[in-house]
A and B are shown apart, each in its own frame.
Chain A
Amino acid sequence: MNTPATMSTTTAAPVPPSDETPHNRIRVLVLALGAVLFLFPFYYMVIGSFQAVADKSLSGILPHPDNMTVTNYKEINAAIDAPRALLNSSIFTMGVLLCTILFGLLAGYALAVMHFRGRQTVLSGVILVLVVPFQLLQIPLYVLIVRGYGLGDTYLGMILPFAINSTAVFIFRQFFLQLPKELFEAARIDGAGEMGTMLRVAIPLARPAILNAVLLTFIGPWNEFLWPFLVTKQQDMQPFAVALANYMNNVAGRATNPDGSNMAGGVLLAIPPVVLFLIFQKHFTSANIGSGVKG
């Protein structure tokens, strides 16, 4: 494990295996054991979602053709209008993504390469928000947004508290900080305005950071439960996570196979982020996240 090869970064593309040493065999064994524990519930969720009758026996781990059906998916779709709920989740998520990229990039850029009065104060603000989770402010946010401004059952009310993801602002800032200062100075000398410098010089270079921030930001609203749960009472406004949770608590009992229809909902909710991460896995690296978290 002390060879240069094994100590180098994990972010590189897969390399010719050097896993013939006994140490690496232990390594692979540990990783494989872990992977089974991590993937089994996902596998079991998919299997269970297709079972006509819930099969909790040991042999139920394997798919049995005579016990397979899509009824669970039909039932949950009939109960919560899955396309509508997925659309709500998408609008909620897209709103957050849009605001985060638009305003978050501006803020991250300014906090990294521009000098202006109040910069330190804003930076301290970012950090404070990262430390204090939104859940602890759920009561006043509910009082203000739902009771005060009457934004219950609206997309705006859902999006507001999450509109600009502070972690993303942070990742942007850390990324712009790493770019050489001369780059910005040269652009300024050439007479490019700040906006031009940002759009033509900084952002094209920031693609990896942007992709990373997009992935991180995506899972926030898509998976969020508490806030949209507080904001939406009408079922046709509920994001999928909220609709599914309400279904589990109130409706599933009446389904032909309650466990199966719950898991069918779980599969539908899990697919978008998992697929996204599979596609972009290579870009979701420790180096980039590290820049966001290490400081």
Chain B
Amino acid sequence: MTTVSGVTGTPTEADPEQTTGPARTERWVGRQPLGLLFVLPYVIFLAFIFVYPLIVQFFISFKDYFFAAPGATVERPWVGLQNYVDVLKDPTFQRSIFNVFEFLLINVPATVVLSLVLAYALNAKIRGLWFFRGSYYAPYVTASVAIVTVWLFMFGETGLINTVLGPLAPDPSWLINKYWAMPMIAVFVTWKQLGFFILLYLAALQNVPKELYEAADVDGAGTMAKFWSVTVPGVRPATALVVILATITGMNLFTEPYLLTNGGGPNGASVTPVFYMYQKGIEQGQAGYAAAIGMILLFITLLIALIQRRLLEQD
């Protein structure tokens, strides 16, 4: 997704020498019309799992659409913008958006700082590099469901963390504490996704011109000074990317509130929009209402993506 600006910016080459002979048909279908056949399966796939569902979601969101028993014919009347009005007024939905902001407030800065520092540290020839890299990628390649099992064990009421903390342990414990539930999800996701963002920064670090470091050396800059004045500005496009990607991840949390905090608990303190969409749409069968949530989230996500393009094009 990150490539947004790079790709759309790719110019289709115009070849001036190709204007004779079969140029007309070529201009119409392209030089290798067979290419269309090559991408056809993928295009059908996109139409089927993206375009069509998007249209369906759009229509459902304007209806009082609910799931009925199989075979039963039911009336699903148009209700106009009613679903959207209801969603925006829904305190649980508002809470879920608030929760996402709380998540982002912790997750985004932590992700940027930790992944940049660790990528910077990894960007060297040191003994055991493969081991360190492997350690940081491990949570990223492992299923959330698998890791949740050990987090529940560690952060439970009588778990290892509370044992170590003794009287400092929060009461009620982390995952069932209304102040700690959402921050815990943020910490979990930061930890789990950091490997991916380290990878991004490692790629970006290769693009910082070495001359800049040499120039900084000539100016007598110390390590910290070089980090701040060369590395940080040098990876700015990557930072913009990390911020946006982390934000989009935050918009899509489901597994963590479902399993880690036992269904968005306690008392809605860790409900996320996607989890709420699932609850409304699938559990309670109010597909129209859930579709409206989906459309609103889609709008927010696209807005973020647009801002991303803006930021990236500045560089």
Q: Is B104 on the interface with A (CB-CB < 8 A)?
A: no
B237 to chain A, nearest CB (A): 8
Kindly state whether residue B159 has any CB partner on chain A within 8 Å. Answer: yes
B78 within 8 A of A: no
CB distance from B42 to the nearest CB of A (A): 4
> Are A140's CB and B43's CB within 8 A?
no
The one of B38, B49, B57, B200 that contacts A106, using a Cβ cutoff of 8 Å: B38
Contact in complex: B254, A225 (CB < 8 Å): yes
Instruction: Report Cα–Cα, A41/B88, bound state, in Å.
Output: 39
By size class, the interface of chain B is 35 or more
* B143 & A225 in contact (Cβ 8 Å cutoff): yes
Report A27-55 CB contacts with B as 1/0, cut-off 8 Å.
11011101101110110110010000010
CB atoms of B130 and A282 under 8 A apart: yes
B41 touches A107 (CB 8 A): yes
Within 8 A of A (CB), among B258-280: 258-259, 274, 277-278
Q: Kindly state the separation between the CA atoms of A117 and B52 in the bound complex, as whole angstroms.
A: 22
Contact between B136 and A160 (Cβ–Cβ < 8 Å)?
A: no
Q: Are B147 and A41 in contact (CB under 8 A)?
A: yes
Interface size on A, residues (CB 8 A): 120
B6 at the A/B interface (Cβ < 8 Å)?
yes
**Cβ–Cβ contact B214 & A2, under 8 A:** yes
Asked if B160 and A295 make an inter-chain contact with CB atoms under 8 angstroms apart, the answer reads: no
Known contacts: A132-B298, A143-B60. The answer to whether A10 contacts B202 by CB under 8 A is: yes
- CB 8 Å contact bits of A142-169 with B (1 = contact, 0 = none): 1110010000000000001101100001
**In the complex, which residues of chain B have a beta carbon less than 8 angstroms from the beta carbon of A103?**
41-42, 45
Shortest A243–chain B CB gap in Å is 10
User: Which listed segment binds A: B95-103, B105-113, B120-128, B178-186?
Assistant: B120-128
A86 at the interface (CB under 8 A from B): no
Chain B residues closer than 8 Å to A19, beta-carbon distance: 126-127
In the bound assembly, the distance between CA atoms of A26 and B107 in angstroms comes to 25
Per the 8 Å Cβ criterion, residues 123-141 of B in contact with A are 123-139, 141
A104 / chain B contacts, CB cutoff of 8 Å: 42
Interface status of B156 (Cβ within 8 A of chain A): yes
Chain B, range 184-215, C-beta contacts under 8 Å to A: 191, 194, 199-200, 202-204, 206, 210, 213-214
Is B241 in contact with chain A by the CB < 8 A criterion? yes
A104 to chain B, nearest CB (A): 7
Tell me if B's interface is mostly helix, strand, loop or mixed: helix
Q: Cβ of A28 and Cβ of B126 under 8 Å apart?
A: yes
Instruction: Indicate whether A131 sits within 8 Å of B121 (C-beta atoms), given known contacts A56-B158, A122-B43, A125-B43.
Output: no
- Which of B33, B46, B53, B67 makes the CB contact (< 8 A) with A144? B53
Judging by beta carbons under 8 Å apart, are B130 and A14 in contact?
yes
Residues in chain A near residue B259, CB distance under 8 A: 245, 248-249
A278 at the interface (CB under 8 A from B): yes
Which of chain B's residues has its CB closest to A42's CB?
A: B138
Given the known interface contacts A111-B39, A259-B152, A289-B199, the answer about A226 and B254 at a Cβ–Cβ threshold of 8 Å is yes
Pair B134/A277 contact, Cβ less than 8 Å: yes
Tell whether, in the assembled complex, residue A267 and residue B146 are in contact, meaning their CB atoms are under 8 Å apart. Answer: yes
Tell me which residues across on chain B come within 8 A of A41, comparing CB atoms.
Answer: 139, 147, 150-151, 154
A274: chain B residues within 8 A (beta carbon): 138, 141-142
Taking CB as reference atom, which chain B residue is nearest A60? B160
Which of A's residues lie within 8 Å of B, judged by CB? 1-2, 4-10, 12, 14-15, 17-19, 23-24, 27-28, 30-32, 34-35, 37-39, 41-42, 44-45, 48, 54, 56-58, 60-61, 102-104, 106-107, 109-111, 114-120, 122-144, 147, 160-161, 163-164, 169-170, 174, 194, 219, 222-223, 225-226, 230, 241, 244-245, 248-249, 259, 262-263, 265-267, 269-270, 273-274, 276-278, 281-282, 284, 286-287, 289-290, 292-295
- Top 6 nearest A-B pairs by Cβ distance? A295-B6, A290-B203, A295-B3, A114-B35, A110-B38, A116-B30
24 A–B contacts from the bound complex (CB under 8 Å): A6-B125, A28-B128, A31-B122, A41-B147, A41-B150, A45-B149, A56-B159, A114-B30, A114-B31, A117-B30, A126-B7, A131-B4, A137-B57, A144-B52, A163-B45, A223-B145, A248-B148, A262-B153, A263-B150, A263-B153, A266-B150, A270-B146, A287-B206, A289-B199
